Structure 1
Amino acid sequence: MTASRVLPERTAEHADWPGWADATVVQGYRKLGVDRPWTHQAVAADLVHRGRHTALATSTGSGKSLAFWLPTLSAVRTAAAAATLDPGNIESARVRPTTIYLSPTKALAADQLSALQRVLDAAGTREVRVATCDGDTSREERSWVQDHADVVLTNPDFLHYALLPNHRRWSRLLKGLRYVVVDEGHAYRGVFGAHVSLVLRRLARLAARYGEGSPTFVVASATTAQPAVSAARLIGVTPDDVTAVTEDTSPSGRRTVVLWQPPEIASWRPPVAPADDAEVGQSPRDRSVDVPFSRQGADLAATDPWALPHPGPGGGPGAAPAAEPALKAEPDPEADAVAAEAPPEHPRRSATAEVADLLADLAATGARSLAFTRSRRGAESVAQQARDHLRHADPGVARRIAAYRGGYLPEERRELEQALRTGDLLGLATTNALELGVDISGLDAVLIAGWPGTRMSLWQQAGRAGRAGADGLVAFVAREDPLDTYLVTHPEAVFDAPLEATVFDPANPHVLAPHLCAAAQEAPLRTEDLAAFGAPGHVRGVLDVLVARGALRRRTSGWYWTHHQAAAGLTDLRGAGGTPVRVVEHGTGRMLGTVDAASADGQVHDGAVYVHQGTSYVVTHLDLTDHTAVVQRRRLDYGTWSRSVMSVAIEGWDDTGPAGTEDGPSAEPGARPDASDDTGHDLVTREWGPVTWGLGPVEVTSQVVSYQRRRVPDMQVLGTEQLELPEHTLGTTAVWWSVPEFVLRAADISPEQTPGALHAAEHAAIGLLPLLATCDRWDLGGVSTELHADTGEATVFVYDAYPGGAGFAERAYELGATWLRATRDAIAACPCADGCPACVQSPKCGSYNAPLDKDAAVRLLDAVLSHDPQGAAPSVTRPAA
């Protein structure tokens, strides 16, 4: 234990039930043990009842759902009573008030439905009709929801692909829409957050057309910075129109948070392969790669609708997802990680092994615990190791430990959640699939294996411990990684640093354009509609480009969509990258689970070992056409680790350099192609003396080429097998700068220091770009190499992690000097000696933050900036989109 912090207990503050609350609903809550609401619940419920947009930001387990269900259920009951008491009065024929509840996952919607049903059953009322509706809902059930449901629990994907395009069939729901609840609001960040924001604005527009006005929005989140500002941006209003409720008056037990560093291995010999749940990849000496969390291995050769002269044929990605879309808030090192070049001199136990021991110890004492891991493989490994520790000492306890992760069948996940609630399970090793608000209370401890990527995620996971007023324990266990090591040795970076802002930009034209097309198909866009989607002048400019490219038609009465296919198919809210692969058992045909298309090549290739709740299977055949992996059950003493290679190629670059090059320092820093050019993102460059800047289309290509079989647990390599799998290409937009060798040497950067200098500068540049481009660092990817095949020089690439680009690289190119100067200053000003998360370490580095050379990075950036033809650029505020 390197540090600890005790968060004091908090006593409850109660308030009376609001006078407007329906007596039957109140009676239902009282039967469930809620004699009086907590003060923050009553305050928020009253704001919602009065029609005030509300941001509810209190801790995990603070009963946020009561604050929005109380006014929702009361409104329906009041309307139903009025119609019953005066059936002959025409006034009583008004449409019943309806509510749409949105969650980022189907699991959370199902959990809320169960909790809501318990309240209604306790109240003894059948007048409020509630139902979930998503991509898995049958046609018959969906028809019932359209005609009868008062409360519909769904997700943004269903709104985008099904409800809004078919709004006439949902007119009853939209006409009575009084409340829209957006749960887990902090999950909507980056490009995903921008997409959801525009979906909500389209929803409000249609509700206003069908009903008497826009609905009241409630945005609930346990962990977010500036909740009113974030909520206002999400729903498209000003911060003054949103009231934030942040004072938590729920009871909370004392929570002890521990920072834990695994011990050094006393008797150590150099291993033949890394022992953590990472994959083998390219040596960082050859290329350091920062892979965006949802992109590695995905077939993402999609077209950017913002660059299209007209919509592409067919539905594109517009078909509703067949399986639950995975909320990938964090990277999965199992898919993305690249092995470190050399083991440390004094290695420590892996975080996986350490957490497995701790989970077993906690279970042996009867404590109920969650262990969060960074990958699916890690969740299975922690659960299996903990069971193995207990199998001989206490077989009964060993059977009460399980794994939980994405890819399990929905019914299996529900069984695990229920078993943890009831105490049938004592320990559950999980990915961040349980980070969101599924109601699991009464946990004694939470273990976190490796930095989850953001402080928001850390405290969201930690909030699972000590719920319902009980004391709790949280242990953050560091991986053998510079970032994790820094955090456990600098506790102020964990305990005292503020939460990250929820950053997203609905005005990004690459995101806005397809949603304007979708809105125009739903109902022709009028001039008075433009303000709902952002600054009217900016929105009109985007519409002009869409008209010029043939996506929309302009008439005196507005803008029209005139194509046959659905406009919703122009965009993919989550960038899921294809149909999930089903894992099917040979012989029985039993479906074990699913694997995301983005990681299928690396996880379920032929010969791969697939682990499901401690049972090992070998993949006998992966059929990428049929999206199926056939597996056979086997007892094995080894695992498999795939190896992938990755490259970035600049499109339009030939042996003589780029076509359409800007000449010399006289070129405008913000020069770029004419927005009306049908080719979209043309390749442009500019020269800073010997330094070359570039912006343009790139192809990020990845391919799984082989895998190793390693004996468990000593990780001895038993063999290497080659694979013949297709390459997967992400066509996107990148900004890059390249430096000739003589500039590096003049800056006193040796050949040995060059990879670390480039890698550190790349990390810091990615970390700083969100300040200028209104994006999230998870929306970006990066590559640095000391000799790139196209440029022939040391080059740093930063690219948009979305098909066709999302505008972030363009912003970096326009503000190149400002961006790099801020990057240089951030590194130089950091008081650390060798680099830390505040400057050059990255939470999503594919090569374990190695090599990094902080001092050389400063010298490199100084050398690059010394050639800036404009000289020292003045500081600027964040530019408007």
Structure 2
Amino acid sequence: MNPHDSLISLLGRGPDPEQLRHVHTIPARQAVHSPWPDWVHPDLVAAYGSLGIHEPFRHQVDAADLAHRGIHTVVATGTASGKSLAYQLPALDAIHRSELRVLAEPGKIHDDGAVTLYLSPTKALAADQLNAIRALQLPTVRAETYDGDTDPAARRWIRDHANFILANPDMLHFGILPNHAWWASFFRRLRYVIVDEAHSYRGVFGSHVANLMRRLRRICAYYGAGRTFPEPVFIAASATASEPDVSFSRLIGAPVTAVSHDCSPHGSTTVAFWEPALTEARGENGAPQRRTAVAETADLLANLVSARIRTIAFIKSRRGAETISSITKRLLDEVDPSLPQRVAAYRSGYLPEERRQVERSLRAGELLGVSSTSALELGIDISGLDAVLVAGWPGTRASLFQQIGRAGRAGQDAVAAFVASDDPLDTYLVNHPEAIFDVSVEATVFDPANPYVLGPHLCAAAAELPLGPAELDLFGSTAESLLDRLVAQGYLRRRPAGWFWTHSQSAAGMVNLRADGGGPVSIVDAETGSLLGTMDSPQTHYQAHTGAVYVHQGDTYVVEDLNEDDHCVMVRRANPDYYTTARDVTQIEVLETQRTMQWGGVTVHFGDVKVTTQVVSFQRKALISNEVLGEEPLDLGARDLFTKAVWFVVDNRSLTGAGLIEAQFPGALHAAEHAAIGLLPLVASSDRWDIGGVSTALHADTGVPTIFVYDGHPGGAGFAERGFDKAKVWLAATRDAIKACECDSGCPSCVQSPKCGNKNNPLDKAAAVTLLDVLLRHATDSPAAATAPAPTPTGSSAGL
């Protein structure tokens, strides 16, 4: 490593700062071109030529050829590799030729028309794609967005006349499929379905979208009987991912071919691995505190903006994005009063006009710095950026590569910094860059068979068209038993022809694609009565309880009242020098064991559990130092979660034989549980907030010391099962991360958790390493050793 020859000094801390742990250089890549395919209409070639695209990249041609031949295709290449052209070519060619036939023979009825449905996870990405398609200025292409922001007066015209419709999964679910009869003409002509940023469909959201794709294919088949092509071709654009063909095949329920060789050019990127320094402050149990990733990233962003370097800072949380923006503006105001207005925050929950304004200002170069959640990680076309900051691990290697790939898109060399937060995984990765760059990217994890997801989608499908027995294979092997339960619960009625929706409520309303339970909650300014934004209901006990700090566009509010009955949170403007974190207490009950592995005296299980959680208090913590300023109790109800878990069972003799005494068991188990939760994203495409854990020296269902790690979503999200499959790798990394931490007795970088309900007590760092050694002593690499015993429930399962 020689940072003196790199771009590290742009970060403003000199050429060799103490926070720098490693430097990795992603080399520049040269372009490989191919000629335009013979089947592409000359008008399209001319249109792209007018935009300066005179020859496509090889991967664009390969993917477009597959789709043109009727093969479901996923193109999985890096940021700014031109995936859009790969799916635009076959779709726009089909539309253009169809419209030319209509123009050539006016009055004739054509039964081989062509339209395209484009789906993206965000409205911003769809708006960006709309601009790109309109820039081609093809008069035959009538492209329009169809989402929640679309003027109701324009929706009928779009439905009847647009031939390239850009929507999102939410609008497909609520607005299109339930009203498919209105869309009959569109579905009869639907030639291509484009699924952009397909890697973002993971966890429970991915499970919902997978079932939504099956419902879409079912409706397409209904309207496609007798047409010249059997069903539309699905084309996906994805970040680089492990086995993208397998993931996209599971998403749509059909075989897929992948194109993953990236032939686009890119400037070299210098990636800094950055760990904030320890401060004088002491946290819980006297543990040393690092400077927060938020404060550190704000400093770096201020340095880059003051040097007129266009930068995006990414962070997972909405609150973090707002806080980075606020601190950066305050720092810049001391340097140059004209600079704070050139920094903004960007996140979901903003009103549409606020999001569009930030996007326009960023493209135009009016903004020099943006702090954003992953909402700007996706394929929005923003060229000319010179630097990217990533505050805390974004959850997956694919996301990290997407984010750092934002810089250097115009071909220039760029700098990126991964700023570690106080988290075991961040500590591990900032000191082990090979765990990022020398291994394959994660697989996208989701579970379409999750009964809490599949059940409501079966209801929605039956409401759209009665479900016939021949269609059950589309929804998987568990669909029939789930349908029987839905009949017993009164949602469906069984007839010889199939299953019919008979309930009075809206079937689509039973499904919440992006969250679980309760729907969105409105955030309202108590002084003005204006709507500031929204929040998913499950988040409110943690982020919108009375006394919580809420940040919106740099303005800080304190929650005055959480009204769960009216789905409303009242907030009032304030300027606290702290943030808040909620604490909970959790109990777990084993319902059913599905898979088991035996590691000598250690047993590893995977199965169904019931988790009962109650938020009991919240802490105020200093913005800069993380110092705990105070704690207050909360009176909120308990919530039950029926989900999936992996759990490790070890007998007392194995632990005492390793030198532990029983008094050390609780601290060892608790510390190992915290660290394991932090390291699970190393093997599963999750983040820490997707999962939870419980440890106990004597669990009621096992009778011995047990560690549970569970999915934080009803029915599971696939993360715990991935942990079961990769248990040896996962626990070995957990042990290594604890041993490598430079603290004496445990800190947030190894065994402390920011959301621990027991105030991180007891914790025994050294004993946790011994415990993990015991768990790993006879560990096996392959899940092939796992068995699937007959169901042995110890509790009762939840209904839908």
2:358 matched residue in structure 1 = 416
The answer to whether residue 236 in structure 2 is matched with residue 222 in structure 1 is no
User: Could you list the per-position Cα deviations for residues 11-44 of structure 1 after superposition, in whole angstroms to 9, with x for gaps in the alignment?
Assistant: 2233333343344443333222223322322332
Aligned residues: 751
Does residue 1:109 correspond to 2:126, yes or no? Answer: yes
Residue 755 (str. 1) matches residue 666 (str. 2): yes
Name the CA shift for 1:201/1:605 in 2 (closer, same or farther; >3 Å).
closer
Relative to 1, partners in 2 of residues 1:806 and 1:229: Cα closer, same or farther, differing over 3 Å? closer
Is the alpha carbon distance of 1:386 and 1:64 closer, same or farther for their aligned partners in structure 2, counting shifts above 3 Å?
A: same
Aligned match for 2:692, one of 764, 770, 781? 781
Secondary structure of the residue aligned to 1:13 is coil
Q: Residues 461, 545 of structure 1: CA spacing in aligned structure 2 closer, same or farther, 3 A cutoff?
A: same
* Shift in alpha-carbon separation, 1:830–1:793, aligned structure 2, 3 A: closer
1:395-430 CA-partner distances (Å, limit 9, x unpaired): 222321222222222211211121111111111112
Alignment correspondent of 2:617: 705
Q: Distance in 2 between matches of 1:527 and 1:557?
A: 8
Are 1:483 and 1:843, in contact at CA under 8 Å, matched by a contact in 2? no
Query: Structure 2 matches for 1:284-295, cutoff 5 A?
Result: none
Aligned residues of 2:602 and 2:775 also touching (Cα < 8 A): no
Task: For residue 25 of structure 2, give the secondary structure of its aligned residue in structure 1.
Answer: strand
Instruction: Please tell me the root mean square deviation across aligned C-alpha atoms, in Å.
Output: 4.2
> Aligned match of 2:178 in 139, 147, 165?
165
Shift of 1:216: 0.3
1:252 offset after TM fit, Å? 0.9
Q: Tell me whether 1:154 sits opposite 2:64 in the alignment.
A: no
Aligned equivalents of 2:176 and 2:586: distance in 1? 40
CA distance in 2, matches of 1:64, 1:515: 30
The equivalent of 1:182 in structure 2 is 195
Paired letter, 2:395 = G
Cα distance in 2 for residues equivalent to 1:729 and 1:31: 58
Alignment of structure 1 residues 332-351 onto 2, 5 Å: 341-344=285-288, 347-351=289-293
Q: CA–CA distance in 2 between the matches of 1:482 and 1:774?
A: 16
> CA offset at residue 500 of structure 1?
0.5
Q: Which letter does structure 1 place at the counterpart of 2:785?
A: S
For residues 842 and 764 of structure 1, the distance between their equivalents in structure 2, rounded to whole angstroms, comes to 5
> How do residues 190-269 of structure 1 correspond to structure 2 at under 5 angstroms?
190-211=203-224, 212=227, 213-238=230-255, 242-265=256-279, 268=280
Alignment pair present for 1:475 and 2:488: no
Do 1:551 and 1:561's aligned partners in 2 also have CA atoms closer than 8 Å?
yes
* Cα distance in 1, alignment partners of residues 70 and 411 from structure 2: 31
Amino acid of the residue matched to residue 271 of structure 2?
V
Aligned letter for 1:614?
G
- 1:693-842 correspondence to structure 2 within 5 Å: 698-708=610-620, 713=624, 721-732=632-643, 744-745=655-656, 748-751=659-662, 753-759=664-670, 762=673, 780-786=691-697, 794-803=705-714, 823=727, 827=731, 832=736, 834=738
Q: What are the residue-to-residue correspondences of 1:403-552 with 2, within 5 Å?
A: 403-509=345-451, 511-534=453-476, 539-540=479-480, 542-543=482-483, 552=492
More displaced 10-residue stretch of structure 1: 132-141 or 182-191: 132-141
User: What CA distance in whole angstroms lies between the structure 1 residues aligned with 2:261 and 2:57?
Assistant: 11
**Alignment match, 1:386:** 328
Q: Is this contact kept in 2: 1:132–1:152, CA < 8 A? A: yes
The Cα offsets for residues 623-673 of structure 1, whole Å up to 9 and x where unpaired, read as 333333344434x35234243222225499xxxxxxxxx9xxxxxx7699x
Structure 1: distance between partners of 2:629 and 2:390: 31
The 1-side partners of 2:687 and 2:622 are apart by 39
- Give 1:645's aligned residue: 584
Select 1:44's aligned residue among 55, 63, 84. 63
State which drifts further: 796-805 or 492-501.
796-805
Q: How has the CA–CA distance of structure 1 residues 819 and 629 changed in structure 2, closer, same or farther, with 3 Å as cutoff?
A: closer
User: Which one scores higher on RCO, CA 8 angstroms, separation ≥ 6?
Assistant: 1
Deviates most, 728-737 or 604-613:
728-737
- The counterpart of 1:589, out of the listed 529, 532, 536, is 529
- Worse-superposed segment, 504-513 or 408-417: 504-513
- Structure 1 residues 692 and 596: CA distance shift in structure 2, 3 A: closer
Task: State yes or no: 1:29 paired with 2:48.
Answer: yes
- Note the alpha carbon deviations across 1:507-555, whole angstroms, 9 max, x for none: 45554444333333322333432333346xx655555565566654444
- Equivalent residue letter for 1:875: A
Give percent identity, aligned residues only.
49
Q: Per the alignment, in what secondary structure is the counterpart of residue 468 of structure 1?
A: coil
Larger mean CA deviation between 149-158 and 713-722 belongs to 713-722
In the alignment, what sits opposite 2:144?
Answer: 131
Local SS of the residue matching 2:157? helix
Cα deviations by residue, 1:553-592 (Å, 9 ceiling, x for unpaired):
4444334334343433444333343333333334433333
1:72–1:651 Cα change, 3 Å? closer
1:54 maps to which residue? 73
Instruction: State how far apart, in whole Å, the 2-side matches of 1:6 and 1:111 are.
Output: 30
**TM-score relative to the length of structure 1:** 0.75
Instruction: Compute the TM-score of the two structures, normalised by the length of structure 2.
Output: 0.82
The residue that corresponds to 1:6 in the other structure is 25
Q: Check whether the contact 1:578–1:597 (CA below 8 A) recurs between aligned residues.
A: yes
CA distance in 2, matches of 1:772, 1:877: 21
- The CA deviation at 1:707 is 4.6
The DSSP-based 3-state class of the residue aligned with 1:464 is coil
- The structural deviation recorded for 1:464 is 0.6
1:178 Cα shift?
Answer: 0.6
Amino acid at match of 2:612: V
Q: Is the 8 A contact 2:346 2:373 kept in 1?
A: yes
1:252 & 1:694 partners in 2: Cα distance?
43
The residue correspondences of 1:316-327 to structure 2 (distance < 5 A) are: none
The answer as to whether partners of 1:698 and 1:734 remain within 8 angstroms in 2 is no
Given candidates 72, 79, 84, the residue that maps to 2:98 is 79
SS of 2:221's partner is: helix
Q: Please give the secondary structure, in 1, of the residue aligned with 2:249.
A: helix
Corresponding residue number in structure 1 for 2:746: none
The CA distance in 2 between the partners of 1:110 and 1:799, in whole Å, is 37
Query: Shift in Å at residue 207 of structure 1?
Result: 0.7
Aligned to 2:385, the other structure's residue is in SS state coil
What's the CA shift string for 1:361-383, capped at 9, x where partnerless? 11122110011123223222222
Report how far residue 215 of structure 1 moved: 0.5
Compute the displacement of 1:739 (Å).
6.7
Q: Structure 1's 774 and 578: CA in aligned 2 closer, same or farther, altered over 3 A?
A: same
Task: Decide whether the 8 Å contact of 2:648 with 2:706 is kept in 1.
Answer: yes
Is this contact kept in 1: 2:425–2:737, CA < 8 A? no
Aligned partners of 1:261 and 1:488 also within 8 Å = yes
| Counterparts in 2 of 1:742 and 1:225: CA distance versus 1, 3 Å | closer
Q: Distance in 2 between matches of 1:613 and 1:179?
A: 38
What's the CA shift for 1:434?
1.6
CA distance in 1, matches of 2:126, 2:475: 27
